[in-house]
Amino acid sequence: MIYTVRHVTQYDYATPVDLGTHMLHLQPRTLSWQRVLRTGLLCDPAPAAMRHATDCFGNAVSWLFLDTAHPRLVVTLEATVEVQSPASLTAAAPTPGWETVSRAAAEGGQAAYEAAEFLFDSPMAPALAAAGEYARASFPAGRPVLEALTDLNTRIGRDFAFRSGATTVHTTVAQVLAQRAGVCQDFSHVMIAGLRSLGLPARYVSGYIQTRPPPGQPRQRGCDQSHAWVACWLGAEHGWMHVDPTNGVLVRDEHVVLGWGRDFSDVSPLCGVILGGGKHSLKVSVDLEPERPDTGS
């Protein structure tokens, strides 16, 4: 599937910002199942300087430097991406017991060195005991790791209510577990915290998911949203499996990857430091449209 992506982030400030520097994780990642055909970043006002690099997780990252007074900042990603399904395994595929994977991750070494760093606590996804207790119901002794992972993925999709506005970027995993409601970022953090508590490497994946309008209704412009899900390491033989706890599904070709890290704070689409501005408002508009529409066949 080929998608066009347009992601617009707009900040309006009460008073002009004199100086600003911003870090962006807004360019889709090239992967074995995802090919970036075109990508571009636009900034209004035009930055005094823009620098591009790769962060420690292999994500594309950009820095903007603004040195003229501006009452508004608008950053736009425009990209074309070709996506296939990354799930080479089905939910019923044979995999080792989860304890075997946990031991391999703890031992590290050449086979697990890239996975081992995702075992540890991170600011927004600590290996919380309560998250581990919730996850453990899907991980009885000896259960194959993929079978346990998909069961946990299904349970989160069933047990937690998607409720926009129920949480903020500062809501903790403990609070989400208590209220059983939130958004995709929250459910991903809960799952990652639970997996890490069991000794399984897990990382936070930032991106987009294709939404479908009701039958007979046209797509609404700007109504799509950023999305988040989880990748769990299944051992050296099987690598990483991407699962979407918000929807209780394996990640398919309806998901577009921007990047990944330990939690949301590693791959926030836009963050920065400004001088001036006062109070501000934020508006985000996302369009993810297939160039070859899905006919359902």
**Sequential DSSP letters for 179-201:** HTEE-HHHHHHHHHHHHHHTT--
- pTM of the prediction? 0.92
3-class secondary structure, 66? strand
Residues paired with 3 in a beta bridge: 81, 290
**Sequential DSSP letters for 250-272:** E--TTEEEEEEESSGGGS-SEEE
Average pLDDT, the chain: 92
Residue 296 has pLDDT above 50, yes or no: no
Residue 166 has pLDDT above 50, yes or no: yes
The whole-angstrom separation of Cα 206 and Cα 226 is 8
The whole-angstrom separation of Cα 208 and Cα 210 is 7
Burial class of 90 by CB neighbour count within 10 A (0 to 12, 13 to 18, 19+): exposed
Q: What is the CATH number of domain 2-83+268-290?
A: 2.60.40.2250
For 134, what's the count of Cα atoms within 13 Å in the CB-facing half-sphere? 26
Q: How confident is the model at residue 120 (pLDDT cuts 50, 70, 90)?
A: very high
Are the beta carbons of 138 and 150 closer than 8 angstroms?
no
Nearest C-alpha neighbor of 206 from the set 154, 159, 169, 167: 169
Query: What count of residues does the chain have?
Result: 297
Which tens digit of pLDDT belongs to each residue from 148-164?
999 999 999 999 999 98
CATH architecture of the domain with range 98-266? Roll (3.10)
Q: How confident is the model at residue 29 (pLDDT cuts 50, 70, 90)?
A: very high
- Span(s) in the chain for CATH 3.10.620.30: 98-266
Q: What is the pLDDT of residue 295?
A: 47
The whole-angstrom separation of Cα 211 and Cα 220 is 10
Residue 93 has pLDDT above 80, yes or no: no
- For residue 57, is it left (φ>0), alpha (ψ between -120 and 50) or beta? alpha
Cα maximum dimension of the chain:
61
Are the beta carbons of 200 and 138 closer than 8 angstroms?
no
Which tens digit of pLDDT belongs to each residue from 229-245?
999 999 999 999 999 99
- Span(s) in the chain for CATH 2.60.40.2250: 2-83+268-290
Nearest C-alpha neighbor of 3 from the set 296, 291, 295: 291
Nearest C-alpha neighbor of 262 from the set 65, 56, 26, 5: 56
